[in-house]
Amino acid sequence: MSSSPPASATSTGKSNIEMEGMSNSLPASGTSTGKRLEGKVAIITGGASGMGAYTAKLFVCHGAKVIVADVQDDLGASLCNDIASENISYVHCDVSSETDVRNLVDIAISKYGKLDIMYSNAGIGGQFNVASIIDAKR
């Protein structure tokens, strides 16, 4: 992985993912270190920014079909535009809503016929007196 920062969405709300930031680690297909997720279908919650966005970029580079799920719709759309691959798409999903999560998984199954990877990354940083994101108040 490149030593450069993930160029992810920042607190300014701007997505500035740069594919070239990963150029040193782009997988070379056909080698033992090539595309390690070819044909895999992945959902990444909280994927519109930060580590989730970086992971989405990495997964696409490795050949995965990625559905980014988040509540920041503009940022999610911007990320997909920046990555500019048919293998990434965005779905609005609040992970504290069972209905949203069910809809998200249904979309993955109907679009790709399977789901291989569920990266439950969505979360809120900082100190909170809540046991889980489900209990977090907006």
Ligand X SMILES: NC(=O)c1ccc[n+]([C@@H]2O[C@H](COP(=O)([O-])OP(=O)(O)OC[C@H]3O[C@@H](n4cnc5c(N)ncnc54)[C@H](O)[C@@H]3O)[C@@H](O)[C@H]2O)c1
Which residue of 15, 72, 78, 87 would you call a contact of ligand X, by CB under 6 A?
Answer: 72
CA nearest to 8, candidates 82, 100, 107: 82
CB-CB contact of 120 with 70 (8 Å): no
- By CB under 6 A, the count of residues binding ligand X is 20
Which residue of 43, 44, 52, 104 would you call a contact of ligand X, by CB under 6 A?
Answer: 52
Site for ligand X in 4-23 (CB under 6 A): none
Angle at 107 between CA 80 and CA 109, to 5 degrees: 115
What is the spatial distance between Cα 59 and Cα 87, in angstroms, rounded to a whole number? 10
CA distances from 120 to 29, 42, 84, 96 (A): 28, 11, 23, 12
Site for ligand X in 106-135 (CB under 6 A): 121-125, 133
Residue in the shown chain whose Cβ atom is closest to ligand X = 123
Which residue of 7, 95, 104, 115 would you call a contact of ligand X, by CB under 6 A?
Answer: 95
Which residues are at the interface with ligand X (CB under 6 A)?
45-46, 48-52, 70-72, 93-96, 121-125, 133
